[in-house]
Amino acid sequence: MQEATIQLVRPAPLAQDPDSATPQRWQVAQIEALFALPFTELLFQAQTVHRANFDPAEVQLSTLLSIKTGGCAENCSYCPQSAAHDTGVEATALMKVDEVLAAARNAQAAGATRFCMGAAWRGPKDRDIEKVAQLISAVKGLGLETCATLGMLADGQAEALRDAGLDYYNHNIDTAPDKYADIVQTRQFEDRIDTLQRVRGAGVKVCCGGIVGMGETRTQRAALIAELANMEPYPESVPINHLVPVEGTPLQDQAPLDPFEFVRTIAAARITMPHTRVRLSAGRQALGDAVQALCFVAGANSIFYGDKLLVTGNPDVTADRDLLATLGMRAA
C-alpha cells in the first residue's frame, strides 16, 4: 500500500539525462511532482521514508558559534556579514581557544552533540587553517562532534582540518543553479561544488543545504533539492534555512514564503535523501512552533540549538526544550 503510493511519484526506471555522465537519481520534474502532491499525501510519504530510516521522536542538536564575524569580502545578498551591506555587524578577529572552549562546554552542557564554528571568510588563508585546527582539536577533545564553515577551501586545507579532528564541513549551495547569479556575484555556483569535492575527497562528512524564501520559484526550490540529492553520495547533513531578512541586505524587504511551502521543501529533502539529517536552520523564530512541528512530521530531525545563530537570533534553549517536551520528542 505504502510502496504503491511512492511509486506514483517516482516511476521506475528513472528517466536519465542523456547528457549526464552519471545517472541522475532525481529529475527536477520528479521533485516538482512531490511538491504538487496533496499536502497530507506528501507528509505521509515523507514520514514513511523517515520512519524507515530514523526514530521519528529523535532530534539531533547542533550549536553554532561565530568564531570570526563580519567584514566578509563576498556579497551574498542574504548575509548580514558581508562587507558589501550596511547591516551594523562589526567585524571581529578570530576567537581564542579558551573563548571557543567555554562556548562549546556550555553547548554540551545544554545537550548539543555537534558544535559548528562559522567564519565570515571568502576562504581561509593557510595561517587561518592552523588556528582553526587548534579550535577543532580542542572542541573534539570535549567529546563533541565538530563542524566548521569557513568559506571556499584551497588544496590541502580540507585534509588539514580533517587531521585536526573535523567531522563535518558546512558549505551550502544555497539556491538553484539558475538563481545563483541573482543572489551572489562574487563567486559562481561551481566554486561551491569545487569546495564540496575537496571536502569529500579528504574524507570529511558533508553538510550542505540552502536557503528558501529568497524569491525563488517552486521549480527552483525543486532544483535546489535535486542538486543536493544527486550529489554522489548526497550530503550527510542538509540544513534548510528559511531566509532571515536582515535590514541593510538586498533581501531586507523580501516577502515571506508561504510556510506550507517551507514544509514541502523539508518533505522533498527527506524523500530524496532518506538517510541524511535534515536540519531546520535559520528562520525558526519566524516559523513558530506549529510549523516546526509540521516540519518534524515532514522528516526534519535536527535543529540549530542555542540562543543565537551566527549573528541573528534563534529560539532560546528553554523554548526548544519546551517544544520538544510538548511534542514528546527527545534529543538524539
Q: Which spans of this chain sit near ligand SF4 (rule: CB under 6 A)?
A: 72, 74, 76, 79, 81-82, 120, 151
| R_g over Cα of the chain | 19
Would you count residue 281 as binding ligand DTB (CB under 6 A)?
A: yes
Would you count residue 309 as binding ligand DTB (CB under 6 A)?
A: yes
Which residues inside 115-174 make contact with ligand DTB, applying CB under 6 A? 116, 118, 149, 170, 172
Would you count residue 135 as binding ligand SAM (CB under 6 A)?
A: no
147 is catalytic: yes
72 is catalytic: yes
79 is catalytic: yes
The torsion angles phi and psi of 138, rounded to 5 degrees, stand at -65, -45
Which residues inside 109-128 make contact with ligand SAM, applying CB under 6 A? 118, 120-121
Binding partner of 82, given ligand DTB, ligand SF4, ligand SAM, none, CB within 5-8 angstroms per partner class = ligand SF4
Site string for ligand SAM, 34-73 (x = CB under 6 A): ----------------------------------------
Cell triple for 122: 571568502
Of the pair 158, 282, the CB lying nearest ligand DTB is at 282
Binds ligand DTB by CB under 6 A, chosen from 150, 311, 317, 323: 311
Residues labelled as active-site residues: 72, 76, 79, 116, 147, 207, 279
